[in-house]
Structure 1
Amino acid sequence: MESAIPTHLQCPRLRHRRVPDDYVPPYPATVARYRAEVTRVVMGYFGIQHRADAPAPALAARALHCITKAFAAANGPGHWDRAQCVDQAGYLNTITIGYWDNPAAYAAWFAEHGERWASGAFNEPGLGLFTEVLQPAADRFETLFSSDGIEGVAGVSAGLGEPIQEHAYWGGMRDRLALSQTDGMSPAGAPKVVTEGLHQRVLPHENLCLIRSGQDWTGTQGDERRMYTEEVEPVLRTGMDFLQHQGRQVDCYANRYMSVVDAAGKPMDKSFGMGWWRSLAALERWAESHPTHVAIFGAAMKYLGTMGPAAQLKLYHEVTVATAAEQYFEYFNCHPRTGMLGAAG
């Protein structure tokens, strides 16, 4: 086994891990490995929204075409995907997500293509647009994979490494973050909204946490597919619905349970939860003790215990704890509970 924290980011620990040095996890998992010269990545969420119970505004398809074309332009992301969800206000949100391993390339691309996305370029009644971007330093995000499938920010990595030690225990998420060696990553401040007409910016606080946690059941068949779709997914959906509608009770600012679609909008057998949290500690408390996540964990363990090593379900997540300077939130004509707008409401 190797440590989840790459050698070039390791340093003398001022804060202890949750497990002893001789801990052996009960099953293997891996993390994405990045070239040592990658000191920062960019996660760019470019979304549109409109009422789910009404025809899409005329500019919606054009906006999606434009972001797809922009991603293929010079300095575009090294990896991207698209997903949809209906939010708590009944709006369909379609989000195109780009990942960069070069902040300078992203800055050049954003100035050319991204800056106008949520600034009124697609101004039409009933159509909202938003940009949510994190640019975490390498010691402020971590990944975890149950298989060799590459998703999310791992798409701009050098690939997956060998099995790691820091997983399969409460606290492993924090222990995989290189910054946890020396810093508790406590939040400070509160988000604020600056409004100018239909345009809104959210001024964030320190150590905001984002998790993208996904499932891929493409390879499942027969009893395994039935067990996932009938016994596991409904429990997962209940937990995601709780966070979407009542997440503020546990310091989750906003949560989206996303269905992955291809470039043509066709649903795939993939999903992920995307949650903005006040802090890593708040996410940890929910994961360790809240009934909704305890139920998710129990259903997943029953599933994996039944299927054993032959299980074809692929699981992954990425977790980021970002400084205020590493965050950017911009909304145009969006309803007041969209993303981080709800955090400041």
Structure 2
Amino acid sequence: MESAIDKHLKCPRTLSRRVPDDYQPPFPMWVGRADEQLKQVVMAYLGVQYRDPGQREQALQALRDIVGRFALADGPQSHDLTQHEDNSGYQNLMVVGYWPDPGAYCRWWRSAEVQQWWSGLEQANDGLGYFQEISAPRAEQFETLYAFREQLPGVGEVMGSTSGEIEEHGYWGSMRDRFPVSQTDWMHPNGTLQVVAGDPSKGGRVLVLGHDNIALIRSGQDWASAEAKERSLYLDEILPTLQDGMDFLRDQGAALGCYSNRFVRNIDLQGNLLDMSYNIGHWRSLEKLERWAESHPTHLRIFVTFFRVAAGLEKLRLYHEVSVSDASSQVFEYINCHPQTGMLRDAQQAAA
């Protein structure tokens, strides 16, 4: 049994864990491991938005164009594709890229091919919306949790390896305890979301300024290799409670501190659905996310269901990654998107 916090990220604790030192978790779970060279990662959510079903092929081509740019020098080490319909009736296609080196990301983003594309989208007049939501947490600012050990998705794919069985899971507060920074920092938020350029009600290009310690969670489900019993377990038992919880946060999460919630389905380059999905949630703080997880009926039902089946999982793959980041390591930019998209919904116009 080992700590979720890797040895090179350990430091003397000034803040205690939520459980005693002799705590024993009820079933095995693992985390991603990276060597000391990994100092910071970039998580880039790049989206294409449309409303008219007739624009789907055009939007898919726009998504494929983004993937094509990922093949340029200094592109991401891994990426995946998703789709979802938001509660304003718009379809959203996203490509999510991960870089283990912020320098490589900056070189890719600043390359002529990428800058010419992004700067020209506002004038493209193609009827599509575009957005980028970028978070770049340092190594001590994110945690992972997996019910499996092979072929880790998301940020796990750029970390390189997997831990042995870890201690910090199976209890309320374990998510926070897996953060290396939690040893000395409460990760409190500061400030508010502010629109610093553009007007969401008018479309065009809108830039939102974030704040320190926005929490980002990606919580995933992969039933591609599951056999009949586990597929039924996911589709008939886990998914209905999960869908209820995700819809609640999408529609009513603002009052709880959830800035944006998207329950997405993975797709291939042709737009075909894959047997994988995940939730993407942006929260004002880790504490707001914890409060919902520990007390709200929609999440308690999800947690109880998972706790009941976790020890018996064989090919159904469940996981999550959670991060916080500094305001200086965030970008939220929207081009011709509707005003409820992502961070636009809760951002306030900055004072002149």
**TM-score bin (small chain):** over 0.9
Deviates more, 1:116-125 or 1:18-27: 116-125
Q: What is the TM-score normalised by the length of structure 1? A: 0.95
| Count of aligned pairs between the two proteins | 341
Equivalent of 1:252 in 258, 266, 269: 258
Output the aligned Cα RMSD: 1.6
- The match for 1:273 is 279
The alpha carbon displacement at 1:302 in A equals 3.5
CA separation in 2, counterparts of 1:235 and 1:57? 29
The one-letter code of the counterpart of 2:250 is: Q
Partner of 2:345: helix, strand, or coil? helix
Aligned pair partner of 1:191 in 155, 180, 193: 193
**1:290 deviation in Å?**
0.2
- Structure 2 residue runs of 5 or longer lacking an equivalent are none
Q: Which residue identity is paired with 1:161? A: S
Which residue of 2 is the match for residue 136 of structure 1? Answer: 137
- AA paired with 1:63? A
Kept in 2: contact 1:220–1:313 (CA 8 A): yes
| CA separation of 1:137 and 1:313: change in aligned 2, threshold 3 A | same
Whether the 8 Å CA contact 1:119–1:199 is kept in 2: the answer is no
Q: Which amino acid aligns with 1:241?
A: D
Give the Cα–Cα distance (whole angstroms) in 1 for the partners of residues 205 and 257 of structure 2.
26
Contact 1:75–1:108 (CA under 8 A) maintained in structure 2? yes
Evaluate the alpha carbon distance shift between residue 117 and residue 316 of structure 1 in structure 2; reply closer, same or farther with a 3 A threshold: farther
TM score, norm. by length of structure 2: 0.93
Q: Distance in 2 between matches of 1:333 and 1:277?
A: 24
Report 1:106-255 matches (<5 A): 106-112=105-111, 113-116=113-116, 118-121=118-121, 123-148=124-149, 149-196=151-198, 198-255=204-261
Task: Tell me which residue corresponds to 1:339.
Answer: 342
Q: C-alpha offsets along residues 96-149 of structure 1, whole Å, 9 cap, x if unaligned? A: 011001111110001125445554436235310001101111100111110024
* Pair 1:34–1:124, CA change in 2 (3 A): same
Q: Would the aligned equivalents of 2:215 and 2:282 in 1 still touch at CA under 8 Å? A: yes
Q: Could you say which residue in structure 1 is the equivalent of 2:269?
A: 263
Tell me, yes or no, if the aligned pair for 2:49 and 2:93 is still in contact at 8 Å. Answer: yes
CA distance in 2, matches of 1:132, 1:170: 29
Structure 1 residues not aligned, in runs of 5+: none
User: 1:172-209: per-residue Cα shift (whole Å, max 9, x none)?
Assistant: 11011010000000111001012336000001111100
Instruction: Indicate which of 328, 332, 336 corresponds to 1:325.
Output: 328
The corresponding residue for 1:299 is: 305
Which sits farther off after the overlay, 216-225 or 201-210?
216-225
Quote the offset at 1:241 in angstroms. 0.3
Alignment-mate amino acid for residue 262 of structure 2: R
Partner of 2:59: 60
Instruction: Give 2:178's aligned amino acid.
Output: R
Cα distance in 2 for residues equivalent to 1:62 and 1:214: 26
Counterparts of 1:54 and 1:69, CA distance in 2: 24
Cα distance, 1:300 vs structure 2: 2.2
